[in-house]
Structure 1
């Protein structure tokens, strides 16, 4: 009994530093943010005025909020298709016996964009999208016809898609690496048995590969969706939410409220909504995936 008590106490002592860190830097800030969202306050005044749920009512009446929510949802849907779906396809191709010997080269090429600073990526693609000197319009002018050239970031109908496309270019390779790691853990005997049974590559993928990496696919969904609703940098750098706030997302809306309008309580409200959305979607995905062991 004494030995069990000592073991439990030792375990608690090992866990305690991490627990204190998580409580101090994760849960406490979340609670403080919810608390601050119920007050009217700014950076230049010491006092706070209690307003209750006033900011939440204001937020749900703000048409820009629904524009931002739509843009974040668009980010999530397109990212799931290209980063998760596209990453799975690319990983499966790279794991093919014929391509496998060239895999190190392709892994490097695909992974490089994900380690480049988002600020650099945003500025680079701003230049590529430039309607006058940008490489994209120049290529369209040479390969197709001049009428197809466009001010991609200057048109409210295309700006959000242009920004979303940059995100896919940057992070699809990262998701591919995650799926490759998971695929390489699958025992080779499974594929040998499938080959003996005469299963096609497509059947092998759906009946062996996909079920075996289901945990990582769930992780990929969670990472992608959370990233889509937390997106800020690329939008702020490339368009700052314009033109006409057509590319506004929740992150840029929060930034505008906090650091341009100095409405800290309203910004805290937006932050709380972002937290609730990402937490809810993550729990739903984990529940649907009936897993979470690798998260």
Structure 2
């Protein structure tokens, strides 16, 4: 018993520094943000006025909030289709026997966009979307579809889709790499058995590959959805929430409240709502199949 206690105390001493850092830089800021959302305050005044839940009532009456929530939800749905669904398809193709010997090349090609700075990516796609000299409109005209050419980031009806498309280009390959790593852990005997039984590649994928990597799929799904509700950089760099705030998301709404309007209490309220959404999604992850054990 004494030895067990000594081992536990030693283990506690090793994890104590990390625990203190987590408490200081994760949990304490969350509590302080929630506390700050109950006050009216700004960066240039010492005093603050208690307003209780006033900012929460204001937020849920703000039509821009629902526009931002809709855009974040759209971001999540499209990202699930392309990053998770498309990533699965790409991973399955690259794991095929005929393609596997070329896999290092394709893995590099698909993974490169995810390591490029988001600022560089945003500026690059701004140029590609340029209505006059951009390659996107140039490609439309080259294939004889000039009527499809438009000001992609200046049209309130399509601007959010143009921004979301950039994230799919950047992160689908990253998600595919995660799925490839999971697929490579599947015992090859399962595939040999399916070939002996005469199963097609599609059936093998549906009944062997997918069940074996369900943990990674759940993790990838939750990571993608949480990322969709935390998105900021792409929107800020490419459109800054415009035109007419049609591409506003919760992240840019928070930034505008804090650093444009200097309403720190209101910004803290938006931050709290983002935290609640992402926390809820994380709890869903823990509820569904106890995912995360493989990564």
- TM-score normalised by the shorter chain: which range applies? over 0.9
**Is 1:66–2:66 an aligned residue pair?**
yes
The residue number in structure 1 matching 2:8 is 8
**Is 1:76–2:63 an aligned residue pair?**
no
Is the 8 Å Cα contact of residues 219 and 294 (structure 1) preserved in structure 2?
no
The residue number in structure 2 matching 1:267 is 267
The residue number in structure 2 matching 1:149 is 149
Give, in angstroms, the shift of residue 3 of structure 1. 1.0
Is the 8 Å Cα contact of residues 219 and 291 (structure 2) preserved in structure 1?
no
Separation of aligned partners in 2, 1:144 and 1:94: 33
Separation of aligned partners in 2, 1:157 and 1:268: 30
Deviations 1:38-96 (A, max 9, x none): 00000000111110000000000000000000000000000000000000000000000
The residue number in structure 2 matching 1:102 is 102
**Is 1:286–2:286 an aligned residue pair?**
yes
Q: Say if 1:290 and 1:11 are closer, same or farther in 2 by CA, change over 3 A.
A: closer
Q: After the TM superposition, which residues 140-289 of structure 1 pair with which residues of structure 2 at under 5 Å, given as runs?
A: 140-289=140-289
Is the 8 Å Cα contact of residues 218 and 286 (structure 1) preserved in structure 2?
no
Separation of aligned partners in 2, 1:94 and 1:74: 29
Deviations 1:124-182 (A, max 9, x none): 00000000010010111111232221111100000000000000000000000000000
TM-score computed with the length of structure 1 as normaliser: 0.98
Cα RMSD over matched residues?
0.9
The residue number in structure 2 matching 1:124 is 124
Is the 8 Å Cα contact of residues 216 and 291 (structure 2) preserved in structure 1?
no
Give, in angstroms, the shift of residue 8 of structure 1. 1.1
Question: 14-23 or 277-286, which moves further after superposition?
Answer: 277-286
Separation of aligned partners in 1, 2:69 and 2:221: 18
Separation of aligned partners in 2, 1:2 and 1:282: 38
Secondary structure in structure 1 of the residue aligned to 2:199: coil
Is the 8 Å Cα contact of residues 41 and 264 (structure 1) preserved in structure 2?
yes
Structure 1: gaps spanning 5 or more residues = none
Give, in angstroms, the shift of residue 290 of structure 1. 4.3
Give, in angstroms, the shift of residue 18 of structure 1. 1.1
Question: 63-72 or 193-202, which moves further after superposition?
Answer: 193-202
Separation of aligned partners in 2, 1:269 and 1:291: 30
The residue number in structure 1 matching 2:53 is 53
